[in-house]
Each structure stands twice: as structure tokens, then as C-alpha cells.
């Protein structure tokens, strides 16, 4: 089965409304007068980090990518649960984990460890508290809304290349991304849809348009990139940048720095139009498992 096939099968096991049909960045659970946001991400050896990377950086990124999902919901982190495979450099992982928890002011609440003797996989479950309801989703974009990006894309691509070549350049956009938690909380009351950009801004725009039943018209030259201009096309497809992609009513006064990159249209045959060209297949738009 492909990842999409497997997720489609899982949807039959996830009828609870908190799961949001497994088509959003996180689960939204209402308990009494509180709304909790739950999300889980994994990182696998040989897939998500290079052999020369410090496990301190891997630990930081594991925390950051989960908190980025909370940011896309406008949530305040409450704590995290760690799933850890024991092996070499455990001390380095703990150092990076401590640094990330301190930097983002989030406590470790528990988790589990295992020893397998094979390639390692780490996972983290992040728990957040909604700061605004209704909690933003991917599916609320409406025709006439502006499409915006808070942050930039392409920095992780450049950081990865610097790391792979052991170049004297900034690797941190790839190794130590920063989730836009404050920006997500500020935007939550104003957006019609929001998600973090993890797999490439074009692919994630396709996903948001599909979830909303609309068409996104994107002006790619408007998208802010943290890469040389001649690498723009790659930067729009690379991913791992954890910017916030969102839609808002035209004329909305935004409380954070964000760039308008397009307009939400009525649904057409294809959910995405880039620079006037309709895209009829998401293949090649970004990273897919």
C-alpha cells in the first residue's frame, strides 16, 4: 500500500469528529470547557537526517516539527510525549532535547523507550491548548480570500546542502527550524484556513485547496524564498521550512509579517493554478512519502 492508501484505510477507523477525517495537521479534542490540540510526528534514520548530523539537532527538529503543527492551530504548547529508540549518542539527543524544551518553554510529560538493534525511529506527541475557537483547519478557505505565507521557503534546502557538503554556511534552517508559535496564535482569530508548510509550499497549497473545495491561484514570483533566485523553482517544492500558509478575507489587517502570494477562486477542474497554468496532478509539487 502507498501512504495515501494506508491513510485512506485508517479513516474508516477514525469516525470521531476530533480526528477531522485525518485530513488536518492535528486532532482537536473538546473536553469540558477546554479545547486540546494533539499531533504526532516521526523521524526515521536514513530518511530524515544525514549520518553526519548530531543527534542533538535531530532532537531539536523532532520537537520543532511537532510544535509547528500546533502553531498552525494557533495553539499554546502544554507538553510533549517522546517515543525513543535507544542506541549510539543518546547523550547528544538528550542535550538537544533539553535545549529545544527550554527554547520553546514546553515540558516533557512522558513517553516510552525501546531497543531494536536496527535503524532508529523517534516520535513525539505534542499537546497544545487552543487559544481561539473555532480552531483553524485546512478546509475553511473561501473564494475571494487572499492566500498568504508567513515566513519563507528554500532555507531548509540551502541548509541541507550546506550540511551534506560540510560547507561553512548556515545549516540551521534545516537542522534547527523554529516553529512560528506566536505568529500562529496571533493569526488564529483572523484566518479562514491555515497549515504549516512541511512538504513544499506548492504541494501544501494544493492540499489546502483540495480540503477547502476551492481553487488556489498562486503567483510564484511573490513567494518569499531564502535561496538564490535561480533556485526558486526548487525552493517552492523542497519543504521542511515550517512557514505558515493561510487564507484570510481580503482587506484583513494582519498582526504579523506575511506576504500575499495568491487568491482563492471558485473550484475548477484543477485545485491549483500557478502563474496562470492549471496543475492537474500534485506529482512533483513537493515531498511525498
Q: Which CATH architecture has domain 3-130?
A: 2-Layer Sandwich (3.30)
Q: What pLDDT score was predicted for residue 194? A: 98
How far apart are the C-alpha atoms of 125 and 179, rounded to whole Å?
15
SS3 state of residue 141: coil
How distant, in Å, are the alpha carbons of 41, 64, 93, 200, 228 from that of 107?
Answer: 17, 13, 16, 30, 38
Give the sheet arrangement for strand 215-218, strand by strand: 193-196, 244-248, 146-150, 259-265, 215-218, 272-274, 277-279
State yes or no: pLDDT of 197 exceeds 70: yes
What percent of the chain stands above pLDDT 90? Answer: 79
Average pLDDT of the segment spanning 268-280? 92
Sign of CA dihedral 220, 222, 224, 230: positive
- The alpha carbon torsion through 57, 58, 61, 63 (nearest 10 deg) reads -110
Q: What angle do CA 33, 36, 37 make, to 5 degrees?
A: 155
Q: Where in the sequence of the chain do the CATH 3.30.1330.10 domains occur?
A: 3-130
218 with 205: CB under 8 angstroms? yes
| Close Cβ partners of 222 (under 8 Å, ≥ 6 residues apart) | 259, 260, 261, 262
Nearest alpha carbon to residue 227 among 172, 154, 284: 154
Mean predicted confidence (pLDDT) in 127-150: 96
pLDDT at residue 289 greater than cutoff 60: no
38-95, pLDDT tens digit by residue? 999 999 988 888 888 999 999 999 999 999 999 999 999 999 999 999 998 999 999 9
* Nearest residue to 136 (alpha-carbon basis) of 85, 198, 239, 212: 212
Q: Taking Cα atoms as reference points, which of 35, 38, 16, 40 lies closest to residue 27?
A: 38
pLDDT tens for 212-248 read: 999 999 999 999 999 999 999 999 999 999 999 999 9
Q: In the prediction, which pLDDT does 16 show?
A: 76
DSSP secondary structure code for residue 135 in this structure = P
Q: Contact at 8 Å (CB) between 73 and 183?
A: no
Q: What mean pLDDT comes out for the span 188-208?
A: 96
Residue of 183, 189, 208 whose CA lies nearest to 197: 208
Q: Where in the chain is the domain with CATH 3.90.650.10?
A: 146-279
Q: What is the 3-state secondary structure (H, E, C) of 26-66?
A: CEEEEECCEEEEEEEEEEEECCCECCCCCHHHHHHHHHHHH
Overall fold of domain 146-279? Phosphoribosyl-aminoimidazole Synthetase; Chain A, domain 2 (3.90.650)
Averaged pLDDT for residues 15-21 = 70
pLDDT over threshold 80, residue 287 = no
**H or E element at residue 150:** strand 146-150
Amino acid at each position: 500500500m502507498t501512504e495515501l492508501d494506508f491513510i485512506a484505510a485508517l479513516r474508516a477507523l477514525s469516525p470521531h469528529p476530533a480526528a477531522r477525517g485525518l485530513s488536518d495537521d492535528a486532532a482537536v479534542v473538546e473536553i469540558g470547557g477546554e479545547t486540546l490540540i494533539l499531533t504526532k510526528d516521526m523521524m526515521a534514520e536514513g530518511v530524515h537526517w544525514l549520518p553526519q548530523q548530531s543527534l542533538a539537532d535531530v532532537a531539536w527538529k523532532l520537537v520543532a516539527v511537532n510544535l509547528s503543527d500546533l502553531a498552525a492551530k494557533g495553539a499554546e504548547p502544554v507538553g510533549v510525549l517522546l517515543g525513543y529508540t535507544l542506541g549510539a549518542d543518546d547523550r547528544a539527543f538528550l542535550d538537544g532535547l533539553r535545549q529545544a524544551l527550554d527554547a520553546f518553554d514546553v515540558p516533557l510529560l512522558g513517553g516510552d523507550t525501546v531497543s531494536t538493534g536496527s535503524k532508529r525511529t523517534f516520535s513525539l506527541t505534542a499537546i497544545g491548548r487552543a487559544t481561539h475557537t473555532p480552531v483553524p483547519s485546512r478546509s475553511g478557505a473561501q473564494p475571494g480570500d487572499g492566500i498568504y505565507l508567513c515566513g519563507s521557503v528554500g532555507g531548509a534546502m540551502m541548509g541541507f546542502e550546506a550540511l551534506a557538503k560540510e560547507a561553512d554556511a548556515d545549516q540551521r534552517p534545516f537542522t534547527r527550524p523554529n516553529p512560528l508559535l506566536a505568529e500562529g496564535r496571533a493569526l488564529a482569530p483572523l484566518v479562514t484556513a491555515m497549515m504549516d508548510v512541511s512538504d513544499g509550499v506548492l504541494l501544501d497549497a494544493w492540499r489546502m485547496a483540495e480540503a477547502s473545495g476551492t481553487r488556489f491561484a498562486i503567483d510564484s514570483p511573490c513567494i518569499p524564498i531564502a535561496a538564490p533566485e535561480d533556485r526558486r523553482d526548487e525552493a517552492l517544492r523542497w519543504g521542511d521550512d515550517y512557514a505558515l500558509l493561510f487564507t484570510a478575507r481580503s482587506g484583513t489587517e494582519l498582526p504579523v509579517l506575511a506576504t500575499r502570494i495568491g487568491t482563492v477562486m471558485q473550484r475548477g477542474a484543477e485545485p491549483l493554478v500557478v502563474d496562470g497554468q492549471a496543475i492537474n496532478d500534485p506529482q512533483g509539487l513537493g515531498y511525498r512519502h
